[in-house]
Amino acid sequence: MQDHEGREKIILITGGSRGIGAATARAAAAEGYAVCISFLRNEQAANGIVRQIVDAGGRAMAVRADVGSESDVCSLFEKLEAELGTLTALVNNAGILEQHMRLDAMDAARLARVFNTNIIGSFLCAREAVKRMSTNYGGRGGAIVNLSSAASRLGSPNEYIDYAASKGAIDTMTLGLAKEVAAEGIRVNAVRPGVIYTDIHASGGEPDRVDRVKSAVPMQRGGHPEEVAKSILWLLSDQSSYSTGALLDISGGR
Using one digit for the tens of pLDDT, what is the confidence trace for 69-81? 999 999 999 999 9
Please tell me the predicted confidence (pLDDT) of residue 207. 78
With 0-12 / 13-18 / 19 or more C-beta atoms within 10 angstroms meaning exposed / middle / buried, residue 246 is middle
Residue 163 designated active-site: yes
Please tell me the predicted confidence (pLDDT) of residue 3. 63
The structural domains of the chain, ordered by start, are 10-250 (3.40.50.720)
- For residue range 83-104, list pLDDT tens digits in order: 999 999 999 999 999 999 999 9
Residue that wins the pLDDT comparison between 198 and 171? 171
- Cβ-contact 43, 54 below 8 angstroms: no
- DSSP E strand boundaries for 148-218: 186-193
Please tell me the predicted confidence (pLDDT) of residue 1. 60
Please tell me the predicted confidence (pLDDT) of residue 159. 93
Asked whether the predicted pLDDT for residue 182 surpasses 90, the reply is yes
Q: Is the overall model pTM greater than 0.75, yes or no?
A: yes
Minimal CA–CA distance to 118: which of 78, 74, 169? 169
Q: Average pLDDT for residues 48-66, to the nearest whole number?
A: 98
Confidence of residue 198 (pLDDT cuts 50, 70, 90): confident
Separation in Å, CA 209 to CA 91, 195, 216: 25, 8, 12
3-state secondary structure of 142: strand
Catalytic: which of 160, 163, 197, 242?
Answer: 163
